[in-house]
Amino acid sequence: MNLSLTELRGAYAKNKVTPREVMAMVAERCEQHRDHNIWIHQLTAAELEPYLQRLETSSADALPLYGIPFAIKDNIDLAGVPTTAACDAFAYTPERSAFVVQRLIDAGAIPVGKTNLDQFATGLVGTRSPWGACKNSFDPSMISGGSSAGSAVSVALGMASFSLGTDTAGSGRVPACFNNLVGVKPSIGLLSASGMLPACRSLDCITIFALQCDDANAILAIAEGEDASDAYSRSNPFANSARHYGQWQGPLRIGVLPAEQLSFFGHEAYAQCYQRSLAAIAASGVELVEVDFAPFIEAARLLYEGPWVAERYIATSPLIQKRPEALLDVTRTIISAGERGSAVEAFRAQYRLKALRKAATTVLESVDCLLTPTAGRPYAIDEVNQDPITLNSNLGYYTNYMNLFDLAGVAVPTGFTDSGFPFGLTLVGEAFTDRRLLSVANYLQQLFKLPLGKDQSDYQALSTAPIKNQQRIAVAVCGAHLQGQPLNWQLTERGAYLVSKTLSTPNYQLYALAGGPPFRPGMVIASQGQGCAIEVEVWSVPASEFGSFVAGIPAPLGIGKVSLQDGSVVSGFICEASGLAGAEDISHFGGWRKYLAAK
């Protein structure tokens, strides 16, 4: 079985499996892939027992992450388990878990262990560790991407439903690309950094690897929250608001790079994947607009060529001064350069960054979001060992600027090379557009319909068992709030998740309402003998957020009761008869998506 949240929640709801059985299966998979060098510390049976015993006295209805296994990058604290940052001489054992880790555990998630990483989170390759190079999930001769190497591979190989990584320069995105995963690099501060060992404290953020966008969104909703103990923690100012930050109007307009600013570093297979991906996206009706990527490229160089390396030196200076031999040669070489910077250089770099940021803002304001390759090319482990710094730098071409500019990003798989190696794109937006980006990424994931991770069940074959929860409300949607549609953000930003794709009873008619954008349908109860079954999605919405959701619904739409084909009746969108003036009856299409495709 795959370990997506939808699959596991469905299995638990039907009593097909227990958390103890899931963790036994996870342990078998960990043993099967031991040679991938994924774990620095895999929890023992004795260490897992308290988590399992707690769940045996709890209900899946009461815990949103009941029995969901997850992995933790070993620069993030888990109480009672050493944090090493891939350096034994640095190791310490925390008494408390990181703020984000504790929120996930409180929600019922089970930690599998601490994962391998590029030492002190310094690298995008996944090879810079005394625990060995973390091997790619598709091809063990290739790099996994770093620094969050083990976290990504653990999800791709079915050892965790999701994992936590960190990202300063691209570590939450490059490994996602190379292992066929969704990688969420949230806005800085959206996830608390308390209990995370900093690399560059002013830039770092905890990231999420998942099999699909719905899973990533569900984890983000639980993990986020302002933390008074973290000076960089921020709450989302746009949450539950009708600000345009969460939606797009009319055809989706995405910025892409002109040919002369693309670089695949001689890797023709990735260049072909990129062009195929863009062609499919454009064919789906998305408008692709060339924009100037030059300010982003220049800012990317500042991360390692400018004064920000000094932050890495601050984080490791006690050890690097007393025991420099404890660090790998390549790690020590990179970090030690941070000791030589001056205040004059720091201010000059800040001035230049400010100018570049202004130019980048102009670019981002011209489109709904930016789209780039996640990485220019993959490399073999042997190639990286021979030239560890240059090749690592190449991997940051599309990623290094993001935290310097305080942006949000979502990496999403969009294809495979002819040899079967994963490829993906990254969506980029301003800070706190996380949900909008996830909504667009969800659209892309549905468009490309790739398998999940490595050797996982097909994306379309996930269980759709209803999830019971006394503090949530099932809502049926039929149009602009569907997955990948312009208003889906209004659900996901409130912590809603998809329960099922189904049909109404054959008692309804569907109309394309006048006006827009966004264009919307109206679902009405049909006259006797004139109805048909309409495609709908059922979403689980937190009861605490239901009121604000309903308040934002404009006339002539509203919330009433909708009958589904399984005999259940749920809250759902209905339309007042007065709103049908000028509307087109599209009932014969059977659903909004089919109507849009035909149109």
Q: Using CA atoms, how far apart are residues 539 and 499, in angstroms rounded to an integer? A: 5
Quick check: is 97 catalytic? no
Say whether 171 is catalytic. yes
By the 10 Å C-beta count (0-12 exposed, 13-18 middle, 19+ buried), 461 is classed as: exposed
The Cα 402–Cα 168 span in angstroms is: 8
How many C-beta neighbours within 10 Å does residue 241 have? 14
309-322 and 329-336 are packed helices; what angle lies between their axes, rounded to 10 degrees? 120
Interhelix angle 5-13/213-223, rounded to 10 degrees, is 80
Show the tokens assigned to 62. 């009461």
What's the DSSP call for residue 232? T
Of 357, 401, 356, 398, residue with least CA distance to 376:
398
Q: Which two tokens stand for residue 339?
A: 């000791």
Of 138, 148, 143, the residue nearest 115 (C-alpha): 148
Measured between alpha carbons, how far is 122 from 334 in angstroms, rounded to an integer?
8
End-to-end C-alpha distance for the chain, whole angstroms = 38
Strand partners, 256: 290
To the query of whether residue 419 is one of the catalytic residues in this protein, the response is no
How far is Cα 290 from Cα 14, in angstroms, rounded to an integer?
Answer: 49
Phi and psi torsions of 577, nearest 5° = -60, -30
Question: Which runs of E-coded beta strand occur in 460-550?
Answer: 472-477, 497-503, 508-512, 521-525, 535-542
Burial class (CB in 10 A: 0-12, 13-18, 19+), 85: buried
How many Å apart are CA 222 and CA 425, to the nearest integer? 25
Tokens standing for residue 176: 């996602």
Residue 112 corresponds to which tokens in the numbers above?
């599998």
Token digits of residue 473? 């409300």
- Give the distance between the most distant pair of CA atoms in the chain: 84
Question: Whose CA is closest to 112, among 34, 207, 41?
Answer: 41
Q: Which residues contact 476 (CB under 8 A, 6 or more apart)?
A: 504, 536, 537, 538, 539, 562, 564, 570, 571, 572, 573
The residue annotated as part of the active site, out of 97, 148, 161, 171, is 171
Element (H, E) at 557: strand 557-563
Q: Whose CA is closest to 125, among 481, 382, 499?
A: 382
Alpha-carbon 416 to chain mean position: 19
CA distances from 549 to 165, 177, 346, 443, 573 (A): 32, 34, 46, 21, 12
Q: Which of 137, 147, 192, 439 is catalytic?
A: 147
**Of 73, 135, 185, 454, catalytic:** 73
Active site residues: 73, 147, 171
